[in-house]
Structures are given as C-alpha cells and as structure tokens.
Amino acid sequence: MTSPRIVSAATDSQIADWLFEHLSAALAGTGGPVAITVPGGSTPFPILAELAQRPLDWSRIAVWPGDDRIVPEDHPASNVGRIRALLEPVGAKVVALTEHAVPPHFAVAWLGMGGDGHIASLFPNTDPQADDPLSLRRLTPDPLPPEAPFDRLSLTIPALLDADQVIFVIRGTDKVALFEAATRGEHDLPVARLLRAARQPVTCFA
C-alpha cells in the first residue's frame, strides 16, 4: 500500500494545475497517445472546465469515464455525454464505456468517493476485488441511488490501478474522514481495498 498524500483546501484551479503538469509530463514521455480516466458526479466538471483551458495537445489525450450509467449519452445522467460536451471541442478523444471495452494504461486515474466508500461504481454490495480478472463489469448498486437509479458499467480495481498516478478529489469533512480511515486500514470498503492494492503515488485533494 502506498501512503497517500493529502492536500487540504485545494481549489479547482490548483487541481487543474496538477493534472496539467502530470499530463504534460506524460505527453512529453511518449510520441503516442496518453489516457486518463475521470469520475462522474458534480465535483469533476468545474475542474475539467479549468483543465480544458490549459495548453495541452488534446489530440493525443484519450479520456475514459471510470464508470457510467447505462443510459443514452444525451441523458442527464450520462457521464460520457457530459465529458464529451466539455472536452471534445478542445480535441480530446472521449471514449464511451461498453461491455467489450478494453481499458488502456492510464497516465492518471482520477477517482471520487461516495459517502459509503464506493469508487467508480464499485459499491460495497458489489464486493469489488483487487485481483478481479475482469477490467470492466456491469453492476447494479444496492441500494440504487435515487438521483441515478440505473445499472452501471465500471472499471474494476485492477483497471483503475493500471495507472502511473492515482488521485482522489473528495469534498466534505465526513468523506475525508472516511478516506483517512481507509488509509489507516480501519475498514474494508471499496476505497480501502483499492488503496491497499495501490503501488503508485496516490494524491487526495480534499
């Protein structure tokens, strides 16, 4: 397990700066494409809007949602639809999750965390495993969140950890406390399982 670095009171602009720095370094290190996976929900989109203004070679960046609701892309609950609307205009390749998708190695795996300790759509009831033989699963959260009562496609823990860097952006004192408890091994929620298996640098912006 890597000991995560926790950065308190990080602004959206500071997080966008961190992403710009690491994506720039990844692009400089290869002549080919670079991939990043990003979370859904409300938190990432102001940060992504900031990042979209940074001078990256977006034509070489593939953006994958870490999970998505199984709805049409024009549905308000679609993660990939919102990501596509924001980043395709600057030239990024936005990849929709499908049941046959093969996730790449990610320069950055960016995750959020729910108040129940879920990451991507790996909710506690789905019993995610660090040695899952699959890189993507179709899952049904239980209970279904009332704001998004849909089945999901989600990258698994091994797919999320096939990355050079892992970052979390977590807002709220209760969630930060739950994340810190995971770093101390005080529970076995999905976030704790991922952190136990992580070998790369992990940064949490709180």
Question: Buried (b) or exposed (e) across 15-28, using 16+ Cβ within 10 A?
Answer: bbebbbebbeebbe
User: How far is Cα of residue 119 from the mean position of the Cα atoms in its chain?
Assistant: 8
Q: What integer pLDDT is reported at residue 13 of this predicted model? A: 97
Residue 177 has pLDDT above 80, yes or no: yes
Cα angle 160-18-60, degrees, rounded to a multiple of 5 = 65
User: Phi and psi for 106 in degrees, rounded to 5?
Assistant: -105, 135
Q: What integer pLDDT is reported at residue 119 of this predicted model? A: 98
Per CATH, which fold does 5-205 belong to?
Rossmann fold (3.40.50)
Question: Buried (b) or exposed (e) across 100-109, using 16+ Cβ within 10 A?
Answer: eeebbebbbb
Q: Where are the alpha helices (DSSP H) in the chain?
A: 12-28, 44-51, 79-87, 157-160, 173-183, 190-197
Q: What integer pLDDT is reported at residue 41 of this predicted model? A: 87
The Cα diameter of the chain in Å comes to 44
Q: For residue range 105-131, list pLDDT tens digits in order.
A: 999 999 999 999 999 999 999 999 999
Q: What integer pLDDT is reported at residue 47 of this predicted model? A: 97
User: How far is Cα of residue 135 from the mean position of the Cα atoms in its chain?
Assistant: 14
Considering only CA atoms, which of 114, 137, 136, 141 is closest in space to residue 125? 141
Q: For residue range 2-49, list pLDDT tens digits in order.
A: 799 999 999 999 999 999 999 999 999 998 999 999 999 889 999 999
Q: For residue range 144-175, list pLDDT tens digits in order.
A: 888 889 999 999 999 999 999 999 999 999 99
Q: Domains of the chain: which residue ranges?
A: 5-205
